[in-house]
Every structure is written in C-alpha cells, then in structure tokens.
Structure 1
Amino acid sequence: MSNNSENNIKKEMLTEYEEQLDLIFNNFKDKTIDQERFKNSLHWLKQVWKYSRIDIKNRGNASNDIKFFERDIRYDKDLSIEAPDWFQNENGKGVKIEFKGRKKHLHFQCKNDGHLEIAVRGFDYRNIHDERKPVYINCITLILNGKSFISKDMLIDHDNPFLFSKRCHNLERINVEIETKTIYYYYPELDNFFNTDDVNILTKDCEETKKFIDTQKTALNNNSNIINFNVTNKEEKAETTKTNIAIFGSCVSVDPFRTCYNNYKKDFNKMYEHQRSTIISLMNPKISYAEEDIKYLINAPDKLFIDSDIRRDFEKEIFKHLDNIDYLVINMVHDIRWGVFAFEDTYITRSDYIYKTKFYENNQSKLRPITIFDNEHEYFELWKDNCDKFFEYLSKNYPKLKVILQKIELKDQYIKYDGTYGYRQDFHEQAQKLNPYFKKLEQYIEDNHDTIVIPFPSDTSLDEGNIWGLYSTHYSRSYYENVFNKIKIHVLEDKLHDSNK
C-alpha cells in the first residue's frame, strides 16, 4: 500500500480510539458511571490498544494440538500464550497469543495430522455497555516457514481478522514471523496519558488526548490533500475502481470473500454481510423487542455474531446498507434449511438459534413454524410472493445494483485430513431431502428475475479441514476459488461492456 493508505489506517485508528474514549468520558460527566469505573475503564482502554493477537489451532480430533518450544518463549515476558476453554473441543486444542512488541517469532510443532488455522486479529475489547468494539492493528508482515502471506499494510481487528489455513502433518515444525503496528507505534505520545489514579488528572488527560488526536487527524488530512493534489498515485486510483459487494444468505457466499481463500481485497470492497436470514423475513414488518430477549442464551464462541444476526433479522436491516453496493450475492441456504415462524402480522427466520432466546421462551405459543419440507405448497407460495417483492423492491430503490444468485447443493463426500475421501450418511440424507428444494427456488429466481447465476461446480467435495469444521455446506478450498473467479469474471465483463457503451 501507499503511504497515503497507511495514513488512512492511522485515521481509522485515531477515530475509533477517540470514539471509545468519548463514551467513557461522556458517561462519567453525565454521572452514568462512578469514579472507580471511570478510572478502570480508562486504564483498560489504554492497555488493549497496545496488544496484537494471534489465534492458532490444529483442527482435527480431540487429541490434535500444537506444542511451543519452551526455549523460544520462556524469556519473552511480552508474550502471553493461553489455551482458553472455549478453544478446546472435539476438533482439537487451540491457543490464544497476545503480545505488545512490534515483531514476533513463534516456533511450534503440530501434534497429529490436521488443518492448521491461524487468525491475526486485534484485542477482544468490550466497552462500558459490554459491546465489542474494534481495536485496530496494522498487520504488515506474516511469514510462515519462509513464505510470505502478508507483505503490505492491512487494517484488522477482532471481528475482521486475517485468516490463514493449511494442512499440517504430525510433528511438522512451523515457524511464524509476524510484524504489527499499533496506535502506540504511530503515536507514542499517547502513552503519556492515563498513568495515574487521580480523577482530576484523568479528566484533564481525556481533554488533552482529544486535542492531540484532532491535531494528528488534521495533519493527516493536510498530508492527504497535498499528495492528492501533486501526484497521481496509480494504487489510490485503483481503489476507486474496486467493486462494492454485499452478501445475503450464509457463509457459503461469505467465504469466497475471505483472505484465507482468495485475495479478494485487490478487486472488491466487502461492504456488508446479512447472514442467517430468509427472504420471507426480509420482506415483512419489523418486530418490536427488548434487546435482552433476542440474545442467544448459550455462551458460544460466536455468540456476539449470533446475537447480531438475530437482531438483523428482526430489524430487516439489509436495506439500510445497499446504497453504494454494486453487486449483491445471495443464496437460499436458510430459506430451505430453516424456513420461518409466522408471528402476529409478520414472519421471522426459524433459525436454530432463536430457540435459545428469551423471545422464544416468552412467545412459543404464538410462533407457527412454516418450512418447505413440512408444508411445501404453503411455504413455496409464501416464498414466491416475497421473492417477487424482494426483487421489485431492489429494482425500484437500487436500480444499479445487480444480484448474483449462487446455486447450492448439499454434499455427502468429504476430503479427510490425510487426503483420502470419507462419506457421511447423515449428510447424504440431508442432501436427498433438501437438494430438490434448492433447485426449485433457484429455478424460480432464474426464470422470473434478472440475475447473474453462478452454477454449483459438479466436482465439489466437503472438507474436514474447512475453517468452520465439517458440514454438508462446508466445501473444499477449490469451491471457494472457483466461485470467486466466476464472480470476478462476470464483474470484469460488466465493466468492459459498460466502458464500450
């Protein structure tokens, strides 16, 4: 990336840090939090922005693990390595690594054949309202056994990590070199603030920090203006030609736009994801709810994502995010797999997760499930009506947006960690039951609405080493590469066609 791109990263860091600081400061001024919480919150905010994080797991079975070489980590007091309970399960044991230094060398050995997964991310920071907020780091280098996978500026945080995966073998030695830059690398002056328990000084530090941030952002903006005025930077010009893309459906369409599978950021801006929802739910009235009622009651690692997906389904919020979108990729996974609940004058997605909420407990008698496999005629007629409304709404309100229909099939064969093939009878039964319905809904869209259709590759297999584990829609790497390339070709053809008009 150019220096100006690094300037953009600095601005993102400063803006987010300032917003998090403002929340603490304003709540203290409004007497929403007391002095003790004010003090602790500021000290914690300062600490979390100093850390980078790496999650590593050798995914396979319960005995899969990684072993660090003690001689490499014993004397590194800057390195914290933990094996939290949430990272240990029947698929293997994972470790969470946090460090403050700019550069780190990690050496470890894999136990058992498996699939090595590495996620570089920011600190898991929750604000005073227990909301997860981004702690940005600039990850500029990731080298694995001498091969570079990141070699330029990359802004990442906890929920938007850099993901990498590869097959690994028993006793294989792995050498990881990583270099990151935190906000304190760019602005060491920030370390001069919040070093006391004196509330009066802390209050003054908040004001001085905001002045410092405003000064630095002004300098960055002036620098950007000078660069833009005096030179033509090809890379910055290329940024404006990127395609803005949004996704509706399931991870099947999100995963082709993950860095562990494709270098999508060169050509696409992934602007929005709306997962775990259905077209029927989208096109019906919002639901009034209490925030606590729609929280997932199980303490799962992805609980915050589940909470967010349920809220988006209740809010039907996708239409707030399509103004600048060029292409919307959709799939019918949840329209088929889950169906909907009829509730009062509307519908909500009948997700697996809704059953573990207070909303379900309080309204169970009012929720009538409708699925295509239990009542094909009723569901299909309802779905057709809302599908037509969906495309009509898009055509009227977002006339330049193009829809990409990604066709889906459930599969029953998978590639094992050792490269041989396995078979799951339960996946076979799912496929026999649901695949005809996928074809029915997809064919209706293809016959009645203007879409770009991405066919399902006939040679697709599942993968035991998929980053989400083995499931009937968790495919091998070649699938995500195939789908991404097909989408990219369609976009390039559209651009070529438009330029020739």
Structure 2
Amino acid sequence: MQKKIAILGSCATRDNFNSKINHEYKKYYQCILTQQHSSIISIMSPPVSSIDISQLDNLREGMESFILNLLKTDLNKKFLIDLTKMQPDYLIIDFFGDIYFGTLFFENGVTTNNRWHLHKTSFYKNLIKKQPLNLIENTSDYLSLWIRSVRDFMEYVETYVPNCKIIIHKARFINRYIDENGSERTLEGINYQYFNHLWNILDNYVITKFKCEFIDLASEEEYLITQLHPLWDLWYLHYEKKYYQDFLKSLNNIVYKR
C-alpha cells in the first residue's frame, strides 16, 4: 500500500519522487504535498495579508506557475493548513531554505529571502522597509529564532498531524562532477563546505532534540552531481542518479521496517 508523503525542503528531496528519476517510486509512495525553498522561520510566521499577486512578476520563463506557487505559498503560509488537511503518513524535511536563503522581515510580515526569484519581483522592489537575516552573517541571531520556530513547528505537527512521522533528509551541497570528456571537475561559486557545516548544526539539533529518524547518504559514500540531470542544470544539489536510488532504499528501510 502506498504511503502518503509530504515534503518541506528543496529539489534534493522532492526529486526523489519523480518518475523520471526513480521510475517505480509510486509503488511505495504518493507525494501529496510539497513546500519548496521555505525557511522554517517563515513557515511559522503569520500569513502575509493582502498579497497583490500581480506584483509577483518577472518570473523565470517556462517556470512561471511553479515559481508563483512557491512564492505565494511562502507568503500565505498555506503549507500548515494543507498539512493538517491532508494528514500525510510521513513528512520529509531538508533545511535548504534556512541554509541558503534565510529570512526576510518587512513592514507587513515575514517571508523566505529567496534571492533567485523573490528579488526579481515588483513585490520585493516595492518594499520600503526590509531586513534580511541569514545564518552566514547573523549566525547566533538566526539560530535563536530558528530554534523557537522549529520547536513551534514540531509541536504543531504533533498536535494537528499526530500520526505523521518526520524524517530529516541530511542533504548536502556537492561540488564534484564528471564533464563530457570523462574528467572530474569541481563547481565553483559558493562556500559549500561552510554551508554544509551549518546544515549539520540544524539537522543534528532536530534529530537529537526530537528523536527524528533521518537519511544520511553523504556520510556513507561520496556522490557526484551531474550535467545530465533529467530535470535541472548542473548545481550543488542536482545529484547523480545513484544518489536518488540510494535515497529510496534508505527511505524504504525506515518506512517498511515498521
């Protein structure tokens, strides 16, 4: 019987439930809800009222619907409502949104500081007072808010989705790939090792504090990213196929051992 899966995180987690990557995942799982790129601090903040959807513009061509939904649900905090309504069996979380984007405070609320998409919109450009907060530059302040938010989040799930098991995906940035000539290359651009250090702090806090089960592939084997990803361009979280296959095996070991 299929298990109902919800995802809070990034493509590193969501891509495991795509038939182009894991062809037979639907034998085991139904992915019923996804919230991508959101910080936990944003998720646990009050909904932003009176959103003018027309201001969420200048979206990447060919991905308009996907990006609009991503930005809109981060502002209206609909994920918590949907989580309660849909009652998944498992919620798989990775903390990419907090690690890579951080949070944006502005005069009418809080949202994820999505530099890729939000910053291009008229909504963002028209904000008069906006204050970003991130783990790189404001580590202690961010962690203080994040810990409160993640505790509130876990309490919410326990109260309103009591039969849902939480699994932490310890996804990590990888910078190595094989080019078209068969040579190993490295992707340059971000301090991926420091991001991974911070990611480890967040994961270990939740796993230890709340006794969550977890999937940790990066500590067991060295994986690569790929130029031949079926969905995305080359980037630090767009893994080779073996990663996704091993993820599904690890998930099956958690879910079906019960």
Match of 1:265 in 2: 26
1:461 shift after superposition: 0.9
Match of 1:478 in 2: 242
CA contact (8 A) 2:17 2:25 kept: yes
Cα 1:329–1:269 shift into 2, 3 Å:
same
Instruction: Output the CA distance in 1 between the equivalents of 2:171 and 2:2.
Output: 27
1:345 shift after superposition: 6.3
1:415 shift after superposition: 2.2
CA contact (8 A) 1:410 1:430 kept: no
Is 1:247 matched with 2:7? yes
Match of 2:53 in 1: 291
Residue 36 of structure 2 aligns to which amino acid in structure 1?
A: Q
CA contact (8 A) 2:59 2:68 kept: no
* Gaps in structure 2 of 5+ consecutive residues: none
217, 233, 239: which is aligned to 1:456? 217
Please give the residue correspondences for 1:420-435 in structure 2 after superposition, counting only pairs within 5 Å. Answer: 420-426=183-189, 429-435=190-196
Residue 41 of structure 2 aligns to which amino acid in structure 1?
A: I
Q: Deviation per CA, 1:206-242, whole angstroms, max 9, x where unpaired?
A: xxxxxxxxxxxxxxxxxxxxxxxxxxxxxxxxxxx21
Number of residue-to-residue matches in the alignment: 250
CA contact (8 A) 1:296 1:306 kept: no
Please give the residue correspondences for 1:336-351 in structure 2 after superposition, counting only pairs within 5 Å. Answer: 336-344=99-107, 346-351=109-114
Q: Sequence identity, in percent?
A: 27
Is the partner of 1:493 in helix, strand or coil? coil
Is the partner of 1:255 in helix, strand or coil? helix
Instruction: Output the CA distance in 2 between the equivalents of 1:358 and 1:325.
Output: 35
Q: Deviation per CA, 1:392-440, whole angstroms, max 9, x where unpaired?
A: 11001111000110002211111224443212232xx421331110011
Is 1:386 matched with 2:146? no
Is the partner of 2:69 in helix, strand or coil? helix
1:299 shift after superposition: 4.6
1:321 shift after superposition: 2.3
Instruction: Output the CA distance in 1 between the equivalents of 2:53 and 2:187.
Output: 39
TM-score by length of 1: 0.49
Instruction: Output the CA distance in 1 between the equivalents of 2:91 and 2:77.
Output: 16
RMSD: 1.4
Which has the larger share of strand? 1
Please give the residue correspondences for 1:6-405 in structure 2 after superposition, counting only pairs within 5 Å. Answer: 241-262=1-22, 263-288=24-49, 289-293=51-55, 295-322=56-83, 323-344=86-107, 346-352=109-115, 353-363=117-127, 365-405=128-168
Instruction: Output the CA distance in 2 between the equivalents of 1:448 and 1:303.
Output: 38
Match of 1:237 in 2: none
Instruction: Output the CA distance in 1 between the equivalents of 2:249 and 2:67.
Output: 29
Larger RCO (CA under 8 A, 6+ residues apart): 2
Is the partner of 1:321 in helix, strand or coil? helix
Cα 1:465–1:450 shift into 2, 3 Å:
same
Match of 1:122 in 2: none
Instruction: Output the CA distance in 2 between the equivalents of 1:254 and 1:387.
Output: 20
Instruction: Output the CA distance in 1 between the equivalents of 2:62 and 2:14.
Output: 19
CA contact (8 A) 2:48 2:108 kept: no
CA contact (8 A) 1:278 1:339 kept: yes
Instruction: Output the CA distance in 2 between the equivalents of 1:273 and 1:343.
Output: 25
Is the partner of 1:425 in helix, strand or coil? coil
1:379 shift after superposition: 0.5
Residue 155 of structure 2 aligns to which amino acid in structure 1?
A: E
* Gaps in structure 1 of 5+ consecutive residues: 1-240, 495-501
CA contact (8 A) 1:327 1:402 kept: yes
Instruction: Output the CA distance in 1 between the equivalents of 2:148 and 2:87.
Output: 27
Cα 1:298–1:269 shift into 2, 3 Å:
closer
Is the partner of 1:405 in helix, strand or coil? strand
Q: After TM superposition, which residue ranges in structure 1, 4 or more long, deviate above 3 angstroms?
A: 417-420
Q: Deviation per CA, 1:123-176, whole angstroms, max 9, x where unpaired?
A: xxxxxxxxxxxxxxxxxxxxxxxxxxxxxxxxxxxxxxxxxxxxxxxxxxxxxx
